Amino acid sequence: MQDTKPHAAILASPGVGHLVPVIELGKRLVTHHGFHVTIFVITADSSSSAETQLLSSQNPNVLDIISLPRVDISGLLDRAASIVTKIIVMMRESLPGLRSTILSMEYRPTVLIVDLFGTEALDIADEFEMSKYVFIASNAWFLAITIYVPTLDEREEDDHVDGQKPLKIPGCEPVRFNDTLDAYLDRSDQLYGEYIRIGREICTADGVLLNTWEDLEPKTVKALRDPNLLGRVTRVPVYPIGPLAREIGPAVSNNPVLNWLDVQPTESVIYVSFGSGGTLSAEQTIELAHGLELSRQRFIWVVRPPLDNDASGSFFNAGNVADGMSSFLPDGFMGRTKNLGLIVPMWAPQVEILAHPSVGGFLSHCGWNSTLESIIHGVPMIAWPLYAEQKMNATMLAEELGLAVRSAELANGVVGREEIKKMVRRIMKDKEGYMIRKRMKETKDKALEALSKGGSSDESLSRVVEDCVIGLQ
Ligand code: UDP
């Protein structure tokens, strides 16, 4: 039977960090706006178990999830290609599969929403006369820079090439060019060209949905809407619809991490995690271990083997985790800290941890999902960005919003143990941490208000929905 609901298709980029907010967007369109939603995903042999689990745990009565046919991109890439380049190429090669799947659907979607790396699919929306939107899983700063850099690129002389000069993006605090996106630092890399293309293609959409809310970045959102500030690019309507963040899952019984948290004092634990795939160097891992130990603060640390550690292979062997870890943690560390903290190999139930009253701080790589999860649970942050747009998020959190502390030592490569101890104590013990926690809780209230019925993000998404439905008539 033909469904009479409006039908939106969402094209997701691979990776947990992209899938999480796309799924939340889909669920919101279904439960708040009466849409039927199909999410197209691209899976690969290299897909992580976290990705597979996230997809398989979705309720099929809420979301249709279709895996596009697998493509072989091995002959299309340099051996040194970055993970983001691989994702972009995989998305490009999946477009024929997307096109033929949409073509064969009896109940055709009338709206196509593409994630950042899927902007080439906007042509398919044109071909099938669908409305077309881009969903940025990140914030307004990220959108501003992504559509501003192509303008810079067109200038004959670019004085940002040394990376140090602050970039003044209209509506944003000045940010060191080195702190924007790694992709912009090497113009000869394929990724640079891909980002410039994406920046231009975004502006051809009917609108851009952002995983932020008006009140968090009012100046940037205003600048994005002002055709005099960002030039040609701002003709595209901008809709802040966030924060779209994962909710706590069904009660997890007998999870050792949560059981341990249950018996710790309120706001006494610092949670340390670098996202779905972040790793540190061997030297930095040692310094972090010592820093946590020196801080004498309770901790949960999601540990991954350093990429430059010879023993990292053995870490993955079931039953050999403790042996693997002792090869890259300081001698005796596990024994000395066994009453102080918990080491969790590879993956932890992050949202449930951040929601737990015993957690009082989050040392984070500042991926945008982690940031939103921290805000939604009112947990102050230590910003420790690694790659992608994380340095920009860290600048925004520490320098504009006052929701995090950040160490100047990060710019030197390795942050020393004394500095780590200091940062942990600043956030967990000092007046500074108290003030950040207070601001974080105020920000959380505003975030929830934006999402509630009649709030700015709820209204923004309603406007998109109205435009889509009008477009159908
Ligand atoms: N995550 C988790 N457990 C972990 C590590 C990560 O549940 O041990 C989740 C986290 O809650 C977030 C996502 O994975 O929803 C990571 O997304 P983010 O944007 O923070 O970083 P990315 O992984 O994209 O760098």
pLDDT of 181 above 90: no
Cα-based angle 285, 290, 294 (whole degrees, multiple of 5):
150
Closest CA to 354 of 438, 285, 273, 436: 273
The answer to whether residue 375 scores a pLDDT higher than 50 is yes
pLDDT, residue 312, reads 47
Distance 119 CA to ligand 1 centre (A): 23
Residue nearest to atom 11 of ligand 1 (CA): 350
The Å distance, Cα 369 to ligand 1 centre, comes to 6
Mutation test of ligand 1: which of 20, 255, 369, 393 has the most ligand atoms closer than 8 Å to its C-beta? 369
Residue 383 phi, psi dihedral angles, 5° rounding = -85, 120
Residue 349 Cα to ligand 1 middle (Å): 9
> What is the rounded (10 degree) CA torsion for 125, 128, 130, 135?
-20
Report which ligand 1 atom has the smallest distance to the Cα of 347: 8
How much distance in Å is there from the Cα of 273 to the middle of ligand 1?
8
- Give per-residue pLDDT as tens, 274-316: 999 999 999 999 999 999 999 999 999 999 999 776 544 444 4
Task: Write the CB contacts of 129 (distance below 8 Å, at least 6 apart in sequence).
Answer: none
Answer yes or no: is pLDDT of 231 > 70.
no
CA dist 312 and 290 (Å) reads 20
φ/ψ region of 157 (left if φ > 0, alpha if ψ in -120 to 50, else beta) reads beta
Per-residue pLDDT averaged across 81-91, rounded?
92
Tell me what pLDDT residue 1 has.
45
Cα 278 to ligand 1 centre (Å): 9
- The rounded mean pLDDT for the chain is 91
Contact 381, 403 (CB under 8 A): yes
Run of H or E residues at 68: none
The structure tokens listed for 269 are 């634990």
Residue 33 appears among annotated catalytic residues? no
CA of 275 to the centre of ligand 1 (A): 4
In the predicted model, is pLDDT for residue 224 greater than 50? yes
Pocket test for ligand 1, best of 116, 350, 397 (most atoms within 8 A of CB): 350
Which of 268, 245, 244, 273 is CA-nearest to residue 366? Answer: 273
Query: Above pLDDT 90, what percent of the chain?
Result: 73
State the amino acid at position 232 in one-letter form: R
Pocket residues: Cβ below 6 A from ligand 1: 16-17, 20, 246, 273, 275-278, 302, 347-348, 350-351, 367-370, 373
Q: Which residue has the tokens 């619809």?
A: 241
Banded pLDDT at 75 (limits 50, 70, 90): confident
Overall residue count recorded for the chain in this entry: 473
Query: Measured between alpha carbons, how far is 466 from 51 in angstroms, rounded to an integer?
Result: 32
pLDDT at 426 over 70: yes
- Cα–Cα distance, 440 to 275 (Å, whole number): 20
10 phi and psi angles, rounded to 5 deg: -120, 125
Confidence of residue 318 (pLDDT cuts 50, 70, 90): very low
pLDDT for position 233: 54
Mean pLDDT of all residues in 31-46: 92
What are the pLDDT digits (tens) for 340-368? 999 999 999 999 999 999 999 999 999 99
CB atoms within 10 A of CB 84: 21
ipTM: 0.99
Distances (CA, A) of 248 to 174, 177, 379, 384: 36, 36, 15, 24
pLDDT at 309: 61
Q: What is the distance between the alpha carbons of residues 375 and 379, in angstroms, rounded to a whole number?
A: 6
Q: Which of 73-87, 216-230, 247-261, 279-293 has the highest mean pLDDT?
A: 279-293
Binned at pLDDT 50, 70 and 90, residue 151 comes out as confident
Residue with structure tokens 């924060």? Answer: 243
C-alpha to C-alpha distance for 300 and 310, rounded to whole angstroms: 25
Query: Catalytic one among 18, 160, 290, 356?
Result: 18
pLDDT score for 152? 80
Instruction: Tell me what pLDDT residue 148 has.
Output: 86
Would residue 18 show up in a list of annotated catalytic residues for this protein?
A: yes
For the stretch 394-419, pLDDT in tens is 999 999 999 999 999 998 889 999 99
Query: Of all atoms in ligand 1, which is nearest to the CA of residue 371?
Result: 20
**Atom 24 (ligand 1) nearest CA:** 17
Which of the listed residues 18, 82, 370, 379 should we mutate to test ligand 1's pocket, taking the one with most ligand atoms within 8 A of CB? 370
Out of 33, 36, 115, 458, the active site residue is: 115
Residue with token string 């090669």? 93
Under the banding of pLDDT at 50, 70 and 90, the label for residue 58 is very high
Ranking 145-154, 315-324, 345-354, 423-432 by mean pLDDT, the lowest is: 315-324
CA distances from 469 to 121, 186, 310 (A): 21, 43, 56
- Residues 110/468, Cβ–Cβ less than 8 Å: yes
Region 258-273 average pLDDT: 97
